[in-house]
Each structure stands twice: as structure tokens, then as C-alpha cells.
Amino acid sequence: MKKTETVFPVRIVKTEGNFVNAESLLKEKPLQIGLAERDLTSVKGDGYIVLDFGKEICGTARILTFARGGDGKIRLRFGESVGETMAEIGYKGACNDHSNRDIETHLRDFSDMRFCQTGFRFLRIDFSGYTEVLLKSVVAEGEFFAARTIYNYKGNDTLTARIFDTAKRTLDLCASSGYIWDGVKRDRLVWIGDMYPETMAIATLYGRQEVVERSLDFIVEQTPLPGWMNGMPAYSMWWIIILTDYARKTGASEYLKGRVPYMKELVKFMNGFVDDAGTMTYPGFFVDWPTHDQPDEPAGMRAINIMAAKRAVSVFEEFGENEGLAEAKKLLANLEKVEMNVESAKQVIALKYFATGKLSGIEAAKLVEGGAKGFSTFMSYFILTAIAKYYGAEAALKLMKDYYGAMLDRGATTFFEDFHMEWLEGSGRIDELTPEGLKDIHGDYGAYCYIGYRHSLCHGWSAGVITFIEENT
């Protein structure tokens, strides 16, 4: 289910050039061109304007033009931050990957046209060289997931309420297509391993939903065995975890039962990559980006594998699948022969807790060492839940507010693909041009596939905090 929204700009961030009555673009008007329009914005010659729509959008820019001089050529640049709208392609990761975000096009007289399909909050429009353009309105039109909620945060903590609402906005945009996406400005793929936080947030907010089941089934159709979902062994493990936890939370027992045959063959396939000594020989390990190729990655991979094996055991027991049960028990027994030693990664410590139900005193202490430093947006549900178990809900909620509140303090209206507390020192906001001498918190950070402005500032896996709030407030 989805709804559409039309959003007028709330602020003019910057203009250069000869603009007259630019503030007219902030007024809500009928979105229809007439022959007798009077309250128009005029721009003569070269110039540009940067508009702020006040919140992240998943959609298009709609421009209503009364008249244009010359060929009406314009350039549009969409940004999740102000800095992104000001960047040239290739600068600090600015790109047209997956969706057009930087294009040249033309306006026409008495026109009402829509441009691009992406995730954005800011829009820069460059005008070039002709005599005069008269604009009636520039609006953002987007889509968001909409269903009857079965849970809303009703507590009195203002910051927790803002975090909950922002996480919900993030989720609703990323689930708006009929499938679950990672980020609204990035690829349109179902990355199944990334879906756990989103799936559990949807189940928490809305209960059983077709968008989840359609995504879970799509990846099965895309992955005939032998094969790994999205080409990654960990992601096939996550499919087992997501499917089982979703079905348990929503009561979708018959749906779960229908996926048992695939799960049975998958577990059998996985057994070929764990020997009798518990050594894993999977073709590639992955937990999350901050731990990729780091010392704790193998332990995190083992924890995910144990979580999947335990769920497979419970599913096969429930539905009397004896052959699958024997395979799952064998897999689990072998995996548990090797101790998971975690050096420092909080997300891997938390996964170990979810896999085994216990941590050493040293590991538990590392969960809160440095406060929210070392947190992961993808793994926030696991980290915060483990902290709550060892230090109490109030301690975990405080760290949640430190971490997610920091993104809000820098202008976030949706939560990010990745975020580190170290980025705060000496950096600016996403809703302003970065002042001289400060770091650009969007363009100057990121790693791997999300360097600089390619970094998604609306990423569904950050919404796992919704389920944590529901369980701890």
C-alpha cells in the first residue's frame, strides 16, 4: 500500500542571479497553469536557486512554467543534502548511479512537467542565458508506504518521539515501491540480508504486510539452489532469520510453512561449507560494512550462521520436517564447536549475544565503551538490545538518543546508511552550505560503496530502532 504526497518548498537556501519574487515559490497554490497568472517568480539570464522541501522525498520534481525565453534550458540537481545539490558529477562521490540526479532539460510555455525519480530533500535549478523564465510553482511529488498502524510510540520523551517518527519516515519511504529497498536514491534491488531491521520495524508498526512477503519470495525466485541470495552466503542466512522472526511476530504460520522446502534445501547446502570441526569455508564473509575485512568479521559471520541454524531447527521441529531437522542440528552442532572471540566490534558482540544468549564481562563492557561510538545503523537493534539486557533499558535508551539524536541535530529528516559519532567533530549540517573550515558531514565521509555524496541519507536498515523502542518503552 502506498500514498502520494505533494510537498511545496519551505525555504529558499540560496539564489544567485536576477530573481524577482522568488518567495512566491514557497506559497501553496493550485497546481494548474492559467492564462492570467500574476504571482510568478521571474529569473532573467543566468542564475540558480536551491529549494528545501523540509523533509526527505521519494519521488520527482514537478515544475509549472508560465513562460520561458529562448530554448528554456535548465539543469536540475537533486540532493539529500545541500552540499549534494551543489556538487558536479564525480566530486566527492556525486553521481547519477541508479537514478538520474543531475540532468539538463528544457522548460516549455504553459507547462506542467515532472522530472527524475529519486530520493531528495533539496533541489537546485540552474537557468542559462535566455531572456526570462516565469515560474508558478516547483513542488516535490513522492510516494510513501501507508497502512493501519498497530503500534505508535506514546511516551513522553520528546527526543525518543522524534527518533521514532524519523525512523518511521525512513521506513515508509524505503517500502513505498511494493518491495523493500535499502535507500530511495540508490539501486532498486531487494538486498535481502539488509532487510532484517526493516522487516521487523514493519511488523512492529503494521503487522503482517504483503510488501515483506513479496520481497522474501522475490529473492527466492531469483536464487535457485545451489546459489547464494544476492551472491552472499550471509544473505541466505539472513533470509532464514527474517522469514522466521517475521512469521513468529505476525502469526504468519502458513506462510512460513510454505517456505520450508526451500529452507530445507538451503540448510543442506550450507552444511557443505561447515566441516565436522566447525570450520567455515563459505565463499565470502559479510556482517556489515564497518566490520568488512576486519578481524571480527569471521566471528560475526559465525553468529549469523548460528542464529539461522537455530531458527531452522525450530521451524523443522514445528512442521515435522525430520530430514531438514537432522541437517539443521548437524549444522548447529558443528558451528558451536568453535568459540567466537570478538576483539572490539560492538555489532559482532551483539550478534554473539543473540546467537548464544551470553557474553563475557569483558565483551559486555565493550558494548558501552566510548558510549555510542562504534554503533552501526544497520545493527542498532542488536547493539541496543544487548546493552539493555546487560545495563538496563534506560542506559540503552540514553545511548540510542545520543546516536540517533546526533543525526537529527545535523538536520536529518530520515536516518543514514552509516553514521559514526567521530564525524560530529568539526563538521557542519546537511541542510546548510558547509562553512569554510568545517567538514561536510555528507560529502567528506563514507566508505566502500557509499563514499561521499553517494552515501544514502535515507536507508531502511536504520529503522530497526523502531522495534527496540517498542520493546523497551
Specify the residue for cell string 513505498.
176
DSSP state of 355: H
Higher pLDDT among residues 421 and 132, named by residue: 421
User: CA–CA separation, 315 vs 449, rounded Å?
Assistant: 35
pLDDT at 293 over 90: yes
User: CA–CA separation, 263 vs 416, rounded Å?
Assistant: 32
User: CA–CA separation, 57 vs 190, rounded Å?
Assistant: 20
Please write the tens of the pLDDT for every residue from 338-390: 999 999 999 999 999 999 999 999 999 999 999 999 999 999 999 999 999 99
**Confidence (pTM):** 0.97
- Grid coordinates given for 117: 525519480
Contact yes or no for 73/125 (Cβ under 8 A) = no
Please write the tens of the pLDDT for every residue from 82-118: 999 999 999 999 999 999 999 999 999 999 999 999 9
C-alpha 117: how far from its chain's center? 17
User: CA–CA separation, 112 vs 13, rounded Å?
Assistant: 24
DSSP state of 26: G
User: CA–CA separation, 211 vs 220, rounded Å?
Assistant: 15
User: CA–CA separation, 208 vs 370, rounded Å?
Assistant: 38
Burial status of residue 463 (CB atoms within 10 A of its CB: 0-12, 13-18, 19 or more):
buried
Please write the tens of the pLDDT for every residue from 66-76: 999 888 999 99
DSSP state of 182: S
| Domain 158-417+456-472 falls under CATH 1.50.10.10 | yes
pLDDT at residue 69, as a whole number: 86
DSSP-assigned beta bridge partners for residue 183: 459
pLDDT at residue 191, as a whole number: 97
Domain ranges within the chain, ordered by starting residue: 2-145, 158-417+456-472
Q: Length of the chain, please? A: 473
pLDDT at 130 over 80: no
User: CA–CA separation, 298 vs 295, rounded Å?
Assistant: 7
Please tell me whether residue 407 adopts helix, strand or coil conformation. Answer: helix
Tell me how far apart the terminal alpha carbons of the chain are, to the nearest angstrom: 28
For 2-145, CATH gives 2.60.120.260
Residues 6+ away with beta carbon under 8 Å from 280: 273, 274, 298, 301, 302, 305, 335
DSSP state of 439: B
pLDDT at 251 over 90: yes
**Mean pLDDT, rounded, for 245-259:** 98
